[in-house]
Structure 1
C-alpha cells in the first residue's frame, strides 16, 4: 500500500459532499506534504487526489479549491473512471491505499467501485445510509475481503458513526471500568442545526422506488445486515431491539422523546457491529454481551413537541410511500441532487448525539457517550470531515497499524468494528468534533427537557 501514489482518493469529488471533503483535505492536509497543525513536529503526511467520472467537473472543483486555498495550487491530482468501464475503475483504485466514496445513490452507482477495490486489494469507505447496498456488499464481497485482509467500511458519515461508535464505547466502558455487560445502549439525537441535501433525499427515494416490497419488509428488521440475522437471540432481547414507534418519556435522560428517522439505518449498523464481534473478536476484544440491545430516539422539548414531531414524521413517511405524493414532494419541497445547505448553515451548524449504556446489574452506574459536531452541520460539512478522518484511519500506515477497531482483519465492516479507538483519537484531535464517555449523571444533555 505504501508504494501506491496516493494514501486516499476521494471518489465523487465533484458532488456536493465530495467537494466539501476535498476542501477539508486541502485546508488541513496539503497534498503530498505534511499536515497542519502537525507539520512542525514531523506529523502526518497525506497523499490524496479527487476522482470521478467527469473530468471537467472535477477540474472545476479543483480550481475553486485552489482559489480558496492557494497553497494547494498545482498539487491536487484528478483521476477519472466510469462505473461502466471496470478497467478504468481498477486504474483509479489500484493507485490508492484507501478510496472514500461520496457518489450515491449507492445501490445504483456504488458497487462497481467496491468491485474494483476488492480486485485491487484497496481499502474502501463510504457514506451510504442504504441498507440494501450494505447487504449487497456483504453478500458479494465479505468472504473475499476477509480472505485478502481488505477493509470495506460502510456508513462513515453522520450515518452512522456517532451512534455506532457510541454504542461500542459505552459497552466497552461498562465492561472495562465496571465489570458489567452492557445490556442496553440507547441513542439520542439532541440539539442540532443543519440542512438537507438533495443527494440524501435521492438515496432515500431510490431505495423506496427500486426495492421490491418483500425486500422492504425484510429491511424493517434491525438484523437485516447483521451476520446471522439475529439468530440465537432470545425473544426478550429481540424485543429490546424493536425501534421506538411513538413518543415516550425516557426515565434515564428525563426527557420526552420521539422516534428517530436515523434509527432505520443506525440500528442495523450497530447490530452488524455486535454480530461481527460475536463471530470474529477473541476474548476481551468483544465488548458486546450476548443479550446486548440497541434502540434510538430523538430528544424533544416536552410532551407536546414529542407528540407533534411524531405525527409530522409519520405523515411525511406515509407521503413518501405513495407515488403521487412522493412525486409532488420531490417536485415542490425536497431539494434536488447536487443541492445542499448554504455555506452559512454549514459553517454555523452543530449537533449533539448521546448514547446511554446500562449494565446488567442494578448497582452499575449508567454511562453516556457524547459526540459533538462543532461549527459544522452534521449532514454535510460534518459528514465530509468525519468521513475523511475515518478513511485516514485506514489510509495512513501509522494509523492502520494501531488496529483500533474490535475486528483486526478484513471484511465488510462497520465504523466501530473497523476503526474504534483510532477514530475516537482522531475526532478528539479535530477542531470539528469531540467524543467522550462519562457517567450519565455528569452529562448535561442539550435538547433534553423534563416538561
Structure 2
C-alpha cells in the first residue's frame, strides 16, 4: 500500500459520510485539514489532507457537503463525493482503490460493514472503523487477517471512544514502565468524570448483536480473549493461568488506587477484548508476558456504585429478552442517526485513567486520556477516528508506524504516532505520571 500512496487521488475517504458521526468527521476534516481554514488550530496549510466523503446515497452526501460548505466557506469546491453500494462490489472497489485509507462510520457493522473491508483488502488499502461489535471484528480477523498480513494492509477497528482511550491508555502506561527499565504487570482502566450524549448508532449495534448472535457465540464473547489470535484459549499467552488472571470486575467495590467506589464498566465488553488482543499480538515488547487488564467506572460514592451495578445488570437483562428489548428499542432508546445537540457536543468532555503496576517494586503510574471540548460519543469519536486514520493515510505518518499488516488494534497499529497526534489536537491530551502525582476526576 505504501508504494501506491503517492499516486492515489485521496489520502482519506470517509465511508458513511452522511451518518451522524460521519458528518462530524467530515466537518472536522474541513475545519482542521482543508486549506484556507480560518480556524486558529487549522493544519490546512502545514498538513493538508486530500479527502472525500462516500456512501450509497448521493443526495444525502450532497446535503452534507452543502451544510459543511455553508458553515466553512473555505471548503467550497474541495469536498468530493464517491458512490458505492454493498450489492455492487465493483463500486466499492472504485472507492477503496483511490484512497490510501478508508475510515468507516457505516454501522451496524455486522449488517453492512463487511463489503467495504473486502474491497480494501482487495485494493491494498488501509482501513479503520469505529465499531464496538466483537462479532464483526472476530469475523474480520477470521476472513482477512492472513491476507492483510501478506499484503501489508492494516485493518484497525475500534478507533473511536470504543476503544482508543483504554487501549492506548494501557499501551501508554505499559510503555512508561518499559522505558524506565521496568515491566507493567497489570493495568486497570477507569472511566472518570464525563459529559456527553448516548449514541443511537451504538445502541442499534448492541441490539442487533443480541438479536442475531447465536447463544454459544454470546457465551464465548464473555472471554476477554474472544478477539485474540486463538480465541479458544490454546496459545501460550492464553493458558488457563492467564485466563484466571484476566477477570473483569463484576460488582461494586472500593478501588484503593483511585480512592473511589467503582462499578463494572459499561464498555468492558469490548475494551477488555481489544486490550487483550493488543497484549496477545504485541511485537514491540511493550507488554510483559504476565500483563493483565481490568476495567471499572468511577462512582460518586458507595450507594451510586451499588445502584449503578444494579441498573447495568437490569439493562443487560432487558436486552437479552425479546419483549423488553423490543420495548427499549422502539420506545425508550435513541434511534440511529440521533445525537446530542451541538451545544452538548461542543461542551462535552471525558476523563479516562489507566493505572499501571510495575513488576520491580509495585510502583504505580497512571495514563490520563482526556477529551476536551468534545463529547466522547460523537464529536470526540469523530475527531479521534480521523486522527487515527491519518496515522495511516498520510505517508509521512505511516512511515512512523510498526511494519506489517493484518487485523490490528489501535495500540499495536498506531501506538505512539496516535498518542502524538492526539496531543497535537485541541480536543485531546494523553499523559503518564506517577499515581501519587495524579488528580483523579470522577
Distance 1:33 1:23, change over 3 A: closer
Distance 1:85 1:36, change over 3 A: farther
Match for 1:163 among 166, 172, 182? 166
Match for 1:244 among 224, 249, 258? 249
Equivalent positions of 1:221-370 (< 5 A) are 221-229=223-231, 230=233, 231-232=235-236, 233-277=238-282, 281=283, 285-361=284-360, 363-370=361-368
Measure the CA separation in 2 of the matches of 1:226 and 1:252: 28
Greater CA drift, 189-198 or 26-35: 26-35
Distance 1:340 1:34, change over 3 A: closer
Give the number of aligned pairs: 435
| SS at structure 2 position matched to 1:57 | helix
What's the CA shift for 1:360? 2.0
**Other-structure match for 2:191:** 189
Residue pair 1:34, 1:45 contacting (<8 A) in 2 also: no
1:138 aligns with 2:141: yes
Measure the CA separation in 2 of the matches of 1:334 and 1:327: 10
| SS at structure 2 position matched to 1:399 | helix
Runs of 4+ with deviation above 4 angstroms: 31-40
Residue pair 1:247, 1:256 contacting (<8 A) in 2 also: yes
Residue pair 1:35, 1:45 contacting (<8 A) in 2 also: no
- Aligned CA RMSD, in angstroms, stands at 1.6
Measure the CA separation in 1 of the matches of 2:229 and 2:38: 40
Structure 2's unaligned 5+ residue stretches are none
Residue pair 2:127, 2:156 contacting (<8 A) in 1 also: yes
Residue pair 2:37, 2:74 contacting (<8 A) in 1 also: no
Measure the CA separation in 1 of the matches of 2:240 and 2:220: 18
**TM-score, normalisation: structure 2:** 0.96
What's the CA shift for 1:175? 1.5
What's the CA shift for 1:35? 9.8
**Other-structure match for 2:382:** 384
1:409 aligns with 2:404: yes
| SS at structure 2 position matched to 1:45 | coil
| SS at structure 2 position matched to 1:245 | coil
Measure the CA separation in 2 of the matches of 1:162 and 1:6: 28
What's the CA shift for 1:408? 2.2
Residue pair 1:30, 1:46 contacting (<8 A) in 2 also: yes
Measure the CA separation in 1 of the matches of 2:288 and 2:375: 34
Match for 1:85 among 80, 84, 88? 88
Structure 1's unaligned 5+ residue stretches are none
What's the CA shift for 1:268? 0.4
Residue pair 1:349, 1:374 contacting (<8 A) in 2 also: yes
Measure the CA separation in 2 of the matches of 1:198 and 1:226: 28
**Other-structure match for 1:25:** 29
**TM-score, normalisation: structure 1:** 0.94
Measure the CA separation in 2 of the matches of 1:172 and 1:145: 26
Query: For each residue in 1:238-265, what CA deviation from the matched residue of structure 2 results, as whole angstroms up to 9, or x when unmatched?
Result: 2231211100111111111000010000
**Other-structure match for 1:16:** 20
Measure the CA separation in 2 of the matches of 1:312 and 1:154: 29
**Other-structure match for 2:210:** 208
Residue pair 2:225, 2:277 contacting (<8 A) in 1 also: yes
Measure the CA separation in 1 of the matches of 2:84 and 2:74: 27
